[in-house]
Amino acid sequence: MIQLFNINNYVIDTSAFDNFLHGSVVRQFEEEFASYVGAKYACSLNSATSAIFLSLLNKHSRIKVPSVIPPVVLNSIINSGNAYSFIDNVDWVGNSYTLHNFDDYKIIDSAQRVDRDQYKNEANDEDLMIFSFYPTKPVGGIDGGIIVSNDYEKILWFKTACLNGMSGSSNNWERKIQFPGWKMYMNSAQADIALRNLRKLDDKKNALNEIQNSYNESFELNNTSHHLYRINVKNREDFMSNMSKAGITCGIHYSAMHLSPVYAIKSSACLKLSERCHNETVSIPYHEMLNKQNIDRILELTKQFAVMADD
């Protein structure tokens, strides 16, 4: 079976951790990740969803988000006390986008993209940038997320908020409660796996670039994501069924949330690009473990089974 994603397997030696929850590996990962993306400070969390939730907590704002988006983003917006509306943007998938722009800083959601010096190149010092370590993401892990910034005070607040509202200290009994917070910190096992995958990222991206070039040439596309390779097909249900029977796993990224009865709002009546994506988008296998034989078979069967939609 040719899988849609590759998830690295590791043996975790917990005897190497100086603390199961707040070990030095967490700080090491924060420092190496911040350095990789060109930021000064970082706060790791148990998920990127938690990072979005805390970044929008009690902002009482209307957040404009693409309709074609994972529902966890909308859940974070709603549960943090904000309203939302939809925009007809489908190009963000696999990349980063501005989740919200306040008067003096912005929040960039880069849950599907990790590049060297990305924060330095895309953000201002006071901005927040959020990344995900969900197992299938460019830097996979046992879930997890991180917020980076050059604004020390903002990152200090997140570190306190995700540690039950307590100030940081190596000894639990020396921590002081600053405010009622949340238990959202990253643990040592999460940091260990994410750190190992971060150190493999450059090699992984080199392999993905070669696969991407083959796909782009074959489909006459210009996809640039290192997370997903998506195509639009008119016969999606039949295409995915036939590919599965042939031993190739495909996926859908993502459904249009404005069509869901849970998230539908009156102001999202006409989102043509989102609705087309909702019906036509398919992700084909795209990961660093694919060999030439795999790629040739994926391309052959895609051309055989897919009724390609016009761009």
- Burial of 40 by CB count in 10 Å (0-12 exposed, 13-18 middle, 19+ buried)? middle
User: Per-residue pLDDT tens for 8-22?
Assistant: 999 999 999 999 999
Whether pLDDT at 170 is above 80: no
User: Per-residue pLDDT tens for 70-114?
Assistant: 999 999 999 999 999 999 999 999 999 999 999 999 999 999 999
Across the range 158-171, mean pLDDT stands at 85
What are the strands, taking DSSP E only, across the chain?
41-45, 62-66, 83-87, 97-101, 106-109, 128-132, 145-149, 230-232, 281-283
Identify the residue whose tokens are 């909308």. Answer: 74
Instruction: Report which of residues 310 and 268 the model is more confident about.
Output: 310
Q: Does residue 132 sit in helix, strand or coil?
A: strand
Q: Which tokens hold the place of 112?
A: 């599907």
User: Per-residue pLDDT tens for 275-285?
Assistant: 999 999 999 99
Whether pLDDT at 141 is above 80: yes
Confidence of residue 47 (pLDDT cuts 50, 70, 90): very high
Question: Could you count the other beta carbons within 10 Å of the beta carbon of residue 19?
Answer: 13
Q: Does residue 306 sit in helix, strand or coil?
A: coil
Dihedral over Cα of 157, 118, 295, 276: its sign: positive
CATH superfamily of 201-305: Aspartate Aminotransferase, domain 1 (3.90.1150.10)
Give the closest residue to 255 by CA, choosing from 273, 279, 235, 271.
279
φ/ψ (deg, to 5) at 225 = -70, 145
**Where do the structural domains in the chain lie, given as residue ranges?**
14-199, 201-305
pLDDT given at position 267: 67
Dihedral over Cα of 117, 24, 176, 56: its sign: positive
C-alpha dist (Å) from residue 58 to 54, 79, 108: 9, 9, 18
pLDDT given at position 311: 63
Give the closest residue to 246 by CA, choosing from 289, 191, 311, 304.
304
pLDDT given at position 81: 97
Looking at domain 14-199, which CATH architecture does it have?
Answer: 3-Layer(aba) Sandwich (3.40)
User: Per-residue pLDDT tens for 116-128?
Assistant: 999 999 999 999 9
User: Per-residue pLDDT tens for 187-207?
Assistant: 999 999 999 999 999 999 999
